[in-house]
Amino acid sequence: MTTEDSLPPRLTRLTFHGPLSESRAAAMVRRLAGPRPATVLDIGCGWGELMLRVLDAVPDARGTGIDVRAEDLARGRLNAGARGLADRVEFVEESALGTGRGPADLVLCLGASQALSTAESSAHTTEALRELRRLVTDGGRVVLGEGFWERTPTPAELSGMWPGASAEDHHSLARLVDLAVAAGFRPEWTETASPAEWGEFESAYQADTEVWLASHPDHPLAAGTRERLDGHRGQWMGYRGVLGLAYLTLVPVTG
């Protein structure tokens, strides 16, 4: 019989659901808190760690996080309560497509631009940027965390990534910034995740479950868990050093 206590843990080693270090996050929060946003909207928020840190830094701000995964939203609510932020933040289980939750003074979209578009491949980035411009107030800020190719991947490298991986799945960093400008933004800050941030994220993404699997090799869930872990690790090794993640802090053009 499988009980809740015997299930493999999920993402408990992760602070942020992406390759984001404590030092980079702290610098981001300082910059984003400077304009004193009154409202924060987090698209595809997960448990909304960066949003909560902004709310902690701006005592008058209120936040809304949108995601479709109830488990992550519940974690966000628990974290907000533990920090005394529960009365200033709402975690909502719903799709972000066409959302009417904006406009907000600060919009976060970290690795979740696909939540704003139904387009396939890299075309979704253009649509997501248009949506982000709609969702941010004049004078506000958008932080977009978006994948890009560090260099064009070879066919052999693509074959080791996610199913159906294509060179069309992402833009270059230069093209990504150009698309943001074309969508009505100016790039206030452009930075990219470091190899160390990627390594910490990908290791933490699987670490607890890897330890669980080592201790439960004969568990009824072991075979499926092993296949999933090995598959994800193989994908990571396929895009390691090829796929980057940009963090763009964008200012909307007005007038």
Burial category of 204 from C-beta neighbours within 10 Å (exposed 0-12, middle 13-18, buried 19 and up): middle
Domains of the chain and any CATH numbers: 14-152+165-198+242-252 (3.40.50.150)
Mean of per-residue pLDDT scores for the chain: 95
Q: Rg of the chain over CA atoms, in angstroms?
A: 19
Instruction: Express each pLDDT in 184-239 by its tens digit.
Output: 999 999 999 999 999 999 999 999 999 999 999 999 999 999 999 999 999 999 99
Amino acid at residue number 228: R
When comparing pLDDT for 186 and 255, which is higher?
A: 186
- pLDDT tens-digit readout, 72-112: 999 999 999 999 999 999 999 999 999 999 999 999 999 99
Q: What is the pLDDT of residue 173?
A: 98
> In Å, how far from its chain's centre is CA 130?
18
Reported in sequence order, the residue ranges of 19-176 that DSSP labels E, i.e. its strands, are: 39-43, 62-67, 89-93, 104-110, 136-149
Residue 255: pLDDT band with limits 50, 70, 90? confident
pTM over 0.85: yes
What is the DSSP code string of 172-190?
BHHHHHHHHHHTTEEEEEE
Token pair, residue 194, equals: 């470091």
- 112-171 confidence digits (pLDDT tens): 999 999 988 888 999 999 999 999 999 999 999 999 999 999 999 999 999 999 999 999
Task: Examine the pLDDT at 5 and tell me if it is beyond 80.
Answer: no
Q: Which two structure tokens, joined as six digits, stand for 115? A: 């939540």
What was the pLDDT predicted at 121? 81
Q: Is the pLDDT of residue 2 over 70?
A: no
1: pLDDT strictly greater than 50: no
Residues in the chain: 255
| Sheet order of strands, 62-67 included | 89-93, 62-67, 39-43, 104-110, 136-149, 243-252, 185-192
Burial-class residue 234 by CB neighbours within 10 Å (0-12, 13-18, 19+): exposed
User: In whole angstroms, what is the distance from residue 132 CA to residue 29 CA?
Assistant: 19
How many whole angstroms separate alpha carbon 127 and alpha carbon 113?
9
